[in-house]
Chain A
């Protein structure tokens, strides 16, 4: 079991460019979560899929951020027109998830730096 895989591990973009982050959940896990970690804000929930369907995106900034899960083996987080304040470590997690109540396993994260 390779755990949750995230690519790339590091990404540097210029202001205004687009960034796409990839996540491969643990095989057999039905729920995928995205979080963001900064020194100032700590860890913040962004969005959540169950069986590929979006369930809760209450943490997602309303503009420029979008997430998809086109199949059970990967999810993407896309940030359009990146801004310096988007710089953070973006973390993906997966769980077995039967309507909540299951342990979440985190990937190593993608460190996004917006210049």
Chain B
């Protein structure tokens, strides 16, 4: 089964709305990372967050390693937030295992 489960698969927002993206892991992990990707674009690292809460502008990531979950909160969404958000887990000293992503569409 999928080791990294992301929900929801897609999300439609009106500009200004908040959103919460979830990531659940089926195995133990050393750390995790959130990425953003536009269609045809590069993977941009948003947060490297092994535990606790981190904030960058309108984005907040919270990871609870013992519960094998992480969330990404988008506040006051903007049309430029549209794209795919991917979470990935890092088992100890191995490559990342990615979820399938949450596709976010923000309309004015």
Chain A interface residues (CB < 8 Å from chain B): 33, 35, 42-48, 55-56, 59, 91, 93, 99-109
Main secondary structure on A side of the interface with B: strand
B12 contacts partner chain A, Cβ-Cβ < 8 Å: no
Q: Are B95 and A101 neighbours in the complex by a CB distance under 8 Å?
A: no
Q: Are A45 and B96 neighbours in the complex by a CB distance under 8 Å?
A: yes
Question: Which range holds the interface residue count of chain B?
Answer: 20 to 34
- Choose from A42, A102, A103 the contact partner of B98 (Cβ within 8 Å): A42
Chain A CB count within 10 A is highest, among B45, B95, B101, for B95
Chain B interface residues (CB < 8 Å from chain A): 30-31, 33, 35, 42-45, 48, 50, 86, 88, 90-101
A99 neighbours in B (Cβ, 8 Å): 92-93
What's the least CB distance linking A113 to chain B, in Å? 14
What's the least CB distance linking B1 to chain A, in Å? 14
Q: A59 — nearest CB in chain B belongs to which residue?
A: B95
What's the least CB distance linking A71 to chain B, in Å? 21
Q: Are A33 and B96 neighbours in the complex by a CB distance under 8 Å?
A: yes
Q: B31 — nearest CB in chain A belongs to which residue?
A: A101
Given A43-B86, A106-B45, A109-B42, also A100-B94 (CB < 8 A) = yes
B92 neighbours in A (Cβ, 8 Å): 99-100
Given A42-B100, A100-B31, also A55-B42 (CB < 8 A) = no
A42 neighbours in B (Cβ, 8 Å): 98-101
- Choose from A44, A45, A91 the contact partner of B43 (Cβ within 8 Å): A91
Q: Please give me the 5 A-B residue pairs with the lowest Cβ-Cβ distance, nearest first.
A: A45-B95, A103-B48, A100-B93, A43-B98, A106-B43
